[in-house]
Structure 1
Amino acid sequence: MTDSKYCPQLDGVRTFCIIFTVLNHIPGRPWFVDGTVGVDAFFPLSGWLITWLLLEERRKEGQIDLRAFYLRRIFRIVPLYYLTIAIYACAALAVYFLTANPAKLEELRTAALYLVTFNSEYRPDEAGVVFGHAWTLGIEEKFYVIWPLMLFLAVRFTAFAVVAALVVIGALFGLFGTNDYLVRGYFGLGVGAGMAIWLNGSPLAASFFRNFPFGWVSLVMTVMMYVGLIMAPSVYWHLGLSASVSLLIVSVWFDREQSLARFLARAPLVWLGTLTYAIYLLQTLAINLAQGLLQRLHAPANFLTIFLTAYAASVVIAWLAHVAVEQPTIDIGRRLAGNRKTGQGGLSSSAPGI
């Protein structure tokens, strides 16, 4: 079980991450809700999954098929991302034609170059908040491009890959500056990747997580970090939360029969987790639709009703996007990557994670 490339428990983790992320964008949220922690969990999950699967591929096949990896990533990320940009552009145009207010259109025009090049984490303040949450995708895409290449070039000397990646990140910080968001993003990816490197090279450490149900302990640690963040906001609580979530991810990966892992593998949570990327991209559209619907129905538009309506709408919209665009393009990427590997005499990869 623990050698499987697909871990449904991680989709369960994603479900809770995206709920927090949606909560963060609901107006009027109470003081004890900090939805920004959703991305603090997403980053180590990506770092762990990508690194572990690439290291396993290198161990079993003798090398990393870099082209196949990039094909899968491109068809997994890019089509729905650009469709989302087009949807937000149409929404900005609609606002302009309905209200004659060009503010959103001007913001989108300013942000456009940053958005289409996956550099939204560097967008200026005058670019506004239209599709503002794309900043996380900018960080993750750089990770997807740079880190596998470093592992590929390092062959079996993973320490070289780590040093090279740190040099690249340092260069990015030196050239473009840094802020708490960038620190949180690269730290989260780094701690997830670091856990994968450590456990891939240490069977003894991996056996600890296989034999000791550490999931609930790591969950308690995560809750403690969250409480600390609420009581005394600091970037260090965010970093601590990423570290504790990485332990949770590792625990449910290696021990999928512990009670927390069985809970995260429940079918509704797993299904909702498969929609996470589409929900993340389209959530603000769903929130605006929810607010408009509640207003038309003369229903109470408080934090809770907006969230429940927006989350339900985001699931429906995300499912439609998943069926119509996301899954078909994922399948194309897998076929292209699989056909290439088959032509080389290898086995095609069906790993849903990469």
Structure 2
Amino acid sequence: MQARPKLQLDFIDALRGLAIIAVLVSHAQRNVEIYQAMGHPARMSPWLSRYADQGARGVQLFFVVSALTLFLSAGKRLGESGEWVNFYIRRVFRIAPMFYVAFGVYCLAPVLLKGHALPPVGTLLGTLTFTNGWSPAWLLGANDVVPGGWSIGVEMSFYIVFPLVFLFIRDFPRALGALLLFLALDVFLGPVLVANPPIADADLWERFMFVWLPNQLPIFLYGICAYFILFTDTGPLSRFFHAGNRAANAALFAGAGLVLLVVPQATADSRAVYLYGGAFALIALCLNRQPYRWLVNPLLCHVGKISFSGYLTHFFMLQVARKLLDKVHAGTRLGPDAYFVATVAVALAGTIVLATITYRFVEVPGQALGKRLIQALAARREAGRRTLGDGAA
């Protein structure tokens, strides 16, 4: 028996909004400490630097939310004619239009306007086909194609295997079992693989081992577990996260928040990513029960709706922020922490404006084109069935 799903899923958009803000924060920190945006070497306060650096885990928050919503969407469309062909069409037209616009801005424009060299062919093709996470060599220079393209490659790789995942994992026990299995493999076998690189560049191999899909799969599985708790009857868990004690729900929410506060200061081990994934899934569960208005609000939900465009445009807006701050000599007037805050404020405001525009004029038309293609294929299938029916008669 299925639990009655809540119709209000604003918390999903709010979580996406938090994810893109966190990612922007992490890249602002890199601008200050690595790329010398202030015009000279600078170090932020250690505690602030560690928190900002771990804003990169916003990518994993995207993965948790993505897996949850994919299962929800696929469950609603189960039995649809051509369901998996339609699934891939929706995914491609959701991602590709804005991604290729970003490719034109970040890669082609510098080549055509400034005479920059194209990235290596393997990296270029790997990024454009969303397979840059399949080979260490294709990761090299990937940010010269589309900044942040590695995470989109991971997402698209998950889409490729998603039908198998959806058909095999049909209930919460299987989802939990798969999560525990892949957690054990990645936590214990992962370091062994990192320590024995099959290529000369050990640093590149370590980076590849972090971003490839098997290492990120537990993060998606956290989202799948959350889906089954929220949208199928898993007994006490489902009942609690739909109508359980509010004080207990708040305590769990606070506990997940505490993980996000403590882990960045406690360890830099890459395997801590799984602690973040678990905390994100728990926060999603708690927000379904109690969508706190300070978090689930119209502004953050809007940022979540435009978050894919925001992910691709925030790199550009960080450079805009750097130039604007240069004009007011912020690099000499502000300390590193204040400069970082100013960078975040300017880049975030610009990203919201620019991403709202690209969402409206690139993403929405792209998704609409995908829907029209699905409708055209459905009409063709229906015409074919009618032809066969007429022939049989």
C-alpha distance in 1 between matches for 2:302 and 2:171: 38
- Conserved 8 A contact 2:4-2:231: no
C-alpha distance in 2 between matches for 1:290 and 1:2: 46
Q: In the alignment, is residue 209 of structure 1 matched against residue 231 of structure 2?
A: no
Aligned partner of 1:151 in structure 2 is 166
Aligned CA distance change for structure 1 residues 157 and 207 (closer, same or farther; 3 Å): closer
C-alpha distance in 2 between matches for 1:211 and 1:108: 54
C-alpha deviation, 1:247, in angstroms: 1.6
- 2:126 corresponds to which of 114, 136, 144: 114
C-alpha distance in 2 between matches for 1:342 and 1:4: 33
- The letter of the residue matching 1:74 is V
Aligned partner of 2:141 in structure 1 is 127
- The gaps in structure 1 that reach 5 residues or longer are 346-354
Aligned partner of 1:328 in structure 2 is 365
C-alpha deviation, 1:90, in angstroms: 3.6
Aligned partner of 2:84 in structure 1 is 66
Q: How many residues align?
A: 325
- The letter of the residue matching 2:84 is L
C-alpha deviation, 1:64, in angstroms: 8.1
Aligned partner of 1:251 in structure 2 is 286
- Conserved 8 A contact 1:215-1:248: no
Aligned CA distance change for structure 1 residues 18 and 62 (closer, same or farther; 3 Å): closer
Aligned CA distance change for structure 1 residues 65 and 109 (closer, same or farther; 3 Å): closer
Q: What is the 5 A alignment of 1:210-289?
A: 210-212=242-244, 213=246, 214=249, 217-253=252-288, 255=289, 258-260=290-292, 262-289=293-320
Q: In the alignment, is residue 81 of structure 1 matched against residue 99 of structure 2?
A: yes
Identity of aligned residues (%): 19
- The gaps in structure 2 that reach 5 residues or longer are 34-43, 200-204, 383-393
Select between 183-192 and 312-321 the one with higher mean Cα deviation.
Answer: 183-192
C-alpha distance in 2 between matches for 1:4 and 1:338: 28
- Conserved 8 A contact 1:66-1:149: no
Aligned CA distance change for structure 1 residues 187 and 8 (closer, same or farther; 3 Å): same
Secondary structure of 2:143's match? coil
C-alpha deviation, 1:220, in angstroms: 3.1
Secondary structure of 2:130's match? coil
Select between 67-76 and 105-114 the one with higher mean Cα deviation.
Answer: 105-114
CA deviation profile, 1:241-294 (whole Å, cap 9, x unmatched): 1111112213333x2xx252x443311111111110001012211111221222
- 1:292 corresponds to which of 304, 309, 323: 323
Aligned partner of 1:7 in structure 2 is 9
Q: In the alignment, is residue 192 of structure 1 matched against residue 223 of structure 2?
A: yes
Aligned CA distance change for structure 1 residues 135 and 282 (closer, same or farther; 3 Å): same
Aligned CA distance change for structure 1 residues 79 and 238 (closer, same or farther; 3 Å): same
C-alpha distance in 2 between matches for 1:155 and 1:221: 26
Aligned CA distance change for structure 1 residues 43 and 335 (closer, same or farther; 3 Å): same
- Conserved 8 A contact 1:110-1:126: no
CA deviation profile, 1:278-317 (whole Å, cap 9, x unmatched): 0101221111122122223444472122221111222222
C-alpha deviation, 1:22, in angstroms: 0.6
- Conserved 8 A contact 2:10-2:296: yes
CA deviation profile, 1:221-250 (whole Å, cap 9, x unmatched): 243244223222112322111111112213
Select between 118-127 and 275-284 the one with higher mean Cα deviation.
Answer: 118-127
CA deviation profile, 1:110-160 (whole Å, cap 9, x unmatched): 6311210112334536426323411111111111121124435x5969959
Aligned partner of 1:350 in structure 2 is none
Q: TM-score, normalised by structure 2?
A: 0.71
Aligned CA distance change for structure 1 residues 155 and 314 (closer, same or farther; 3 Å): closer
- The letter of the residue matching 2:72 is W
- The letter of the residue matching 2:258 is V
C-alpha distance in 2 between matches for 1:155 and 1:192: 12
- Conserved 8 A contact 1:92-1:108: no
C-alpha distance in 1 between matches for 2:95 and 2:8: 18
C-alpha deviation, 1:51, in angstroms: 1.5
Q: In the alignment, is residue 93 of structure 1 matched against residue 111 of structure 2?
A: yes
